[in-house]
Structure 1
Amino acid sequence: MTEIIALVLLIVAVIFVIQSVKVVPQQNAWVVERLGRYHATLTPGLNILVPFIDRLAYKHSLKEIPLDVPSQVCITKDNTQLTVDGILYFQVTDPMRASYGSSNYILAITQLAQTTLRSIVGRMELDKTFEERDLINSSVVQALDEAALNWGVKVLRYEIKDLTPPPAILHAMQAQITAEREKRALIAASEGRRQEQINIATGEREAAIARSEGDKQAEINKAQGEAAAITSVAEATAAAIRQIAAAIEQPGGQQAVQLKVAEKAVDAYAQLAQKNNTMIVPGNMSEVSGLIGTAMALMKGSGKTPG
């Protein structure tokens, strides 16, 4: 009998320990009710309860929780159906309110996210819904965060996973995109041709300018060369004349000049005789000597002219 009592006491002690000692894991919070009323929130670690009086009513994870929001059909401002689905991230911040603020805060958040999304999309046109995803996400988070305070939940962010218009709208959008790309391609091609013509005209103009500059420089160089040649010839002629004049002033120079002039006169008459059938002979040979004397007088006069 004693052994039975001892066994019963041992069983009661084990049950007492199991009921009274609770170890809460990290990032968890357990809500305790005492005689049916909220009593305390157990934090991570070792906690002691009163057996048969305290009861673990709720267990909450304090980690960030992703919640898939089911897809739904929304009507845009321009009366276009749009299938939208997304994902919501939330975190329990007040275990007591999460336990007693709503019978099912996950369902409440899901339903509120859907209704808020329908309201926001309904104020936008179809094209804007694709452009303003960030605005839609932030608007949903703001609306949910205000309502979720009473549920002990903090809505961290909302992300749209997909926006799907009807097939006919998709086809029209694809056709519009194709037309827009073809338009840009044509514009780019025309701009290329225009730039090509501009480049060709610019090149021809620059080439013509370069040719004209080259011709101009060539004419200048030619003129300068001819001027230099004329100057050189004139200087050489002047030098030759000066040398001849100096030679005439030397002894025997006059006689040499007379002889040279006489030779030139005879050569001249000889040339005339070769070019004509009629022989031209001076009527008086004294004319030749007179011609020579006149040339010598001119040379003497030029020699006496002050230099």
Structure 2
Amino acid sequence: MEITTIIIIVFALFILFAAFFTVKQQSAVVIERFGKFHSVRNSGLQMKIPIIDRLAGRVNLKIQQLDVIIETKTKDNVFVKMKVSVQFKVIQEKVYDAFYKLEYPHDQITAYVFDVVRAEVPKLILDDVFERKDDIAIAVKRELNEAMTTYGYDIINTLVTDIDPDIQVKNAMNRINAADREKTATEFEAESQRIRIVAKAKAEAESKRLQGQGIADQRREIARGLVESVEVLNNVGINSQEASALIVVTQHYDTLQAIGSDTNSNLILLPNSPQAASEMLNNMVVSFAASNQVGEAMKTKIKNTNRKSREDKNSDYQDDTEQK
């Protein structure tokens, strides 16, 4: 009798514990009664009829990610490997569809990703694949949403996370990129060189202009000083020729003194004799006289030419008057 009581108590405890179960957060449990769908239980403490009801399965309601790697060909016949990450989850209101209608959701999603990518990428050249990867991801998401909603799945997002062309193509692209950067660097260096040359030319031109202006100012002041010196000498009874001779001799010896004061100078002034200043003055006087004679001759010739031209015009005017 005691053994029977113990068995009954144990069986009752087993039935009691078997009637209760817990469902974790972000998950759902499908309950079947005699092999037929009965209900969906959400998170928390739940109860079922032991032996009659059973837990058919648990459905994860969290966001899941599936990485799909596809090899395909572009419009310009370049083979690329693309990695597409699909983020999806089971719609809580459609746990029944997700559990009963689709047995292998990952395989189904992979098949749709392959289909869309291999339909979109062959329309684009390799450069456009990199630039329009977001468009490809949007196309994949649109196609998956239309297909997977029927099975109780919601596609949260799709991302093209990697585009890997053939190794030879990557090497060629790297060479093109390096050549393009080298070209840009050469252009910048040439522009920099041009700017330096232009700046140097402007600086040299400004230097020459200032140097010329300085020489002109110097010569102007020298001429003004000579005029003042001649006037001073004339005021004390020295005529212009004597004054010029005195100035030339003075400048000559001043030059010799300036040259002699520099111990490192290798300049030799020829001729260098006491008569050098006198000969220089005589040469200058002769040159001035010859220049004056040439100038007077040119003026006389111009006057004669102008007078003859006027006479010819008067003669022609008189002839015309007599004919009339």
Write the distance in 1 (CA, Å) between the matches of 2:117 and 2:105.
18
Asked whether 1:182 is paired with 2:182, we answer yes
Segments of structure 1 that go 5 or more residues without pairing to the other structure are 230-307
The residue that corresponds to 1:104 in the other structure is 104
Residues 172-227 of structure 1 deviation map (CA, whole Å, 9 limit, x = unaligned): 22222222122222212211212222222232344445556667887899999999
Give the 3 Å change call, closer, same or farther, for CA 29–222 of structure 1 in structure 2.
farther
Residues 252-292 of structure 1 deviation map (CA, whole Å, 9 limit, x = unaligned): xxxxxxxxxxxxxxxxxxxxxxxxxxxxxxxxxxxxxxxxx
Give the 3 Å change call, closer, same or farther, for CA 196–16 of structure 1 in structure 2.
same
Segments of structure 2 that go 5 or more residues without pairing to the other structure are 230-324
1:1-307 pair list within 5 angstroms: 2-69=1-68, 71-94=69-92, 95-211=95-211
Write the distance in 2 (CA, Å) between the matches of 1:8 and 1:116.
62
Q: CA deviation at 1:17?
A: 2.3
User: Could you tell me which amino acid in structure 1 is paired with residue 146 of structure 2?
Assistant: E
Aligned residue for 2:136, secondary structure, equals helix
Q: CA deviation at 1:228?
A: 12
Aligned residue for 1:13, secondary structure, equals helix
Write the distance in 2 (CA, Å) between the matches of 1:38 and 1:223.
123
Aligned residue for 2:75, secondary structure, equals coil
Write the distance in 2 (CA, Å) between the matches of 1:101 and 1:167.
42
Count residues with an aligned counterpart.
231
Write the distance in 2 (CA, Å) between the matches of 1:35 and 1:223.
131
The residue that corresponds to 1:273 in the other structure is none
Write the distance in 2 (CA, Å) between the matches of 1:99 and 1:142.
23
Q: CA deviation at 1:144?
A: 1.4
TM-score (normalizing by structure 2) = 0.61
User: Could you tell me which amino acid in structure 2 is paired with residue 65 of structure 1?
Assistant: Q
Write the distance in 1 (CA, Å) between the matches of 2:139 and 2:192.
45
Aligned residue for 1:108, secondary structure, equals helix
**Identity percentage over the alignment?**
29
Write the distance in 1 (CA, Å) between the matches of 2:20 and 2:126.
58
User: Could you tell me which amino acid in structure 2 is paired with residue 51 of structure 1?
Assistant: P
Give the 3 Å change call, closer, same or farther, for CA 108–22 of structure 1 in structure 2.
same
Write the distance in 2 (CA, Å) between the matches of 1:221 and 1:33.
121
Give the 3 Å change call, closer, same or farther, for CA 190–15 of structure 1 in structure 2.
same
TM-score (normalizing by structure 1) = 0.64
Q: CA deviation at 1:33?
A: 2.0
Aligned residue for 2:50, secondary structure, equals coil
Q: CA deviation at 1:148?
A: 1.5
Aligned residue for 2:139, secondary structure, equals helix
The residue that corresponds to 2:246 in the other structure is none
Q: CA deviation at 1:24?
A: 0.8
Give the 3 Å change call, closer, same or farther, for CA 47–226 of structure 1 in structure 2.
farther
Q: CA deviation at 1:46?
A: 0.8
User: Could you tell me which amino acid in structure 2 is paired with residue 179 of structure 1?
Assistant: A
Root mean square deviation of aligned Cα? 3.1
Q: CA deviation at 1:164?
A: 2.1
Residues 44-74 of structure 1 deviation map (CA, whole Å, 9 limit, x = unaligned): 11111122222211211222212222x2320
Write the distance in 2 (CA, Å) between the matches of 1:45 and 1:226.
119
Write the distance in 2 (CA, Å) between the matches of 1:46 and 1:120.
48
Aligned residue for 1:87, secondary structure, equals strand
User: Could you tell me which amino acid in structure 2 is paired with residue 75 of structure 1?
Assistant: K
